[in-house]
Amino acid sequence: MTDFTVLTEGYVRRKEGVLYASSTVVLLQDAGLTIIVDPGLDRQLLRQSLEKWDIATEDVNFVLLTHSHPDHSLLAGIFQKAKTIDGKYIYSYDGSMEDTGEKIPDTEIGILFTPGHDMTDCSLLIKTREYGKVGIVGDVFWWCDGEQQEMSMDDLINMEDSSAYDMNNLIASRKRILEYTDWIIPGHGKIFHVPR
Quick: pLDDT tens for 151-164: 999 999 999 999 99
Q: Could you tell me which of 152, 127, 126, 124 has the C-alpha nearest to residue 140? A: 124
Quick: pLDDT tens for 127-159: 999 999 999 999 999 999 999 999 999 999 999
pLDDT at residue 101 is higher than 90: no
pLDDT of the residue at 18: 93
pLDDT (mean) for 9-13 = 97
Q: Are strands 132-136 and 183-185 parallel, antiparallel or unpaired?
A: parallel
Quick: pLDDT tens for 37-84: 999 999 999 999 999 999 999 999 999 999 999 999 999 999 999 999
- Per the CB < 8 A criterion, the answer to whether 22 and 14 are in contact is no
> How many secondary structure helices (H) and strands (E) does the chain include?
4, 14
pLDDT (mean) for 22-43 = 97
- Per the CB < 8 A criterion, the answer to whether 26 and 125 are in contact is no
pLDDT of the residue at 32: 96
pLDDT (mean) for 76-99 = 92
Q: How far is CA 166 from CA 120, 124, 141, 169, in A?
A: 11, 20, 14, 6
pLDDT at residue 87 is higher than 90: no
Confidence tier at 116 by pLDDT (50, 70, 90): very high
pLDDT at residue 100 is higher than 90: no
Share of residues in the chain with pLDDT > 90 (%): 91
Q: What is the pTM of this model?
A: 0.96
pLDDT at residue 95 is higher than 90: no
Residue ranges of domains in the chain, CATH in brackets: 3-193 (3.60.15.10)
DSSP string covering 26-74, please?
EEEEETTEEEEE---S-HHHHHHHHHHTT--GGG--EEE-SS--HHHHG
Cα angle 91-93-96, degrees, rounded to a multiple of 5: 50
Interatomic CA distance for residues 57 and 34, integer angstroms? 10
pLDDT at residue 190 is higher than 90: yes
Other beta carbons within 10 Å of 72: 27
